Amino acid sequence: MRSVQLIILQRLGLGLLTLLVVSMVIFIAVNSLPGDFAQAILGQGATPEAVEAIRQQIGLDKPPVTRYFEWLGGAVTGDMGVSFAQANFASNFGSTSNTGVTVVDQIAPRLANTMFLAGVTALIAVPLAVTLGILAALYRNSVFDKAANIFTLSSISSPEFFVAYILILLLAVLNPIFPSLSNIFNDMPFDARLKATMLPALTLTLVVTAHMMRMTRAAIINLLASPYIEMARLKGMSPLRVIVTHALPNALAPIINVIALNLAYLITGVVVVEVVFVYPGIGQLFVDSVKIRDIPVVQACCLIFAAAYILLNLTADILSILSNPRLRHPK
């Protein structure tokens, strides 16, 4: 048991180190974006003195190393700073303070919307993918298996925006079942929110189901030639019971990994889908903030994406260790 705890602590330490390195990459990349927020907010006709005054108010005149550690220290305590776009700049350009909407207040409702979209997608995609994977393994090389493989390859090969526009055409234009734009707002009834979220959720479902289904099928088929599976068959068990009772529990490690990776994608890879459906999530906020060079919001969004991806990868590693006796008790 101590070896398992040691492995988990090593994974957590590696995750924190990875997040630290990623935070450096995020800061360097975001601050290397072309353009200047102070120049953009004042216009091309602004004087250099006015531009420099705005830069002082938002802290862009400080050395990059100082700004990085101030940002990292604030992020550790949950303070991401104030959004440049929502800041109330002092009328006196000599002042070095600015107030306004904090980044946390701006991101929190958007992140909740993205988590709702990811949750709805996961509730549809995970059971569907595992079921299709089991059936494809059960009826290997059948018409169903071949059709499922064609479907999954088509889904993997199609970009998200193409799948989104096809669903809009089929389910919003030709058959007006769901709205083509996801108009989400506060205090919206659950059924109305679910209906407005359904098209982007179905788009993400088609994208992530393919990976999970193919991994489930491959993992189960890889175990069907094992001696204990042959013994179960010789005892007269039905093929479905053999797969569900004996093969599936031993195939959980790779299946958990691919599910965790796709759940991470549901949070970090929703940018395109949210933009297509104008879904008010963190992906849409990220794109809007990049356009106006709102550096604190862009950095916070990137850090959230990275943290979610690393956390879900760590979760997959830990669950794989706990579900595999050979990993729990290495020789």
More confident residue, 4 or 105: 105
Q: Are 266 and 118 a contacting pair, CB within 8 Å? A: yes
What DSSP state is assigned to residue 197? Answer: H
- What distance in Å separates the CA atoms of residue 223 and residue 56, rounded to the nearest whole number? 63
pLDDT tens, 55-94?
787 777 788 888 889 888 888 888 888 887 776 554 444 4
- Nearest-angstrom CA–CA distance, 270 and 304: 13
- What are the sequence ranges of the domains in the chain? 2-103, 105-324
Mean local confidence (pLDDT), 181-197: 87
The verdict on pTM exceeding 0.85 is no
CATH 1.25.40.80 fits 105-324, yes or no: no
Whole-number percent of the chain with pLDDT over 90? 17
Q: Compute the distance between CA of residue 244 and CA of residue 232 in angstroms, rounded to an integer.
A: 12
Contact assessment for residue 25 and residue 58, using Cβ atoms and an 8 Å cutoff:
no
Which string of DSSP letters, residue by residue, matches 266-322? HHHS-HHHHHHHT--SHHHHHHHHHHTT-HHHHHHHHHHHHHHHHHHHHHHHHHHHH
For the chain, the average pLDDT equals 82
**pLDDT 10s digits, 88-122:** 554 444 444 455 678 888 899 999 999 999 999 99
- Choose among 244, 219, 264, 249: nearest CA to 122: 264
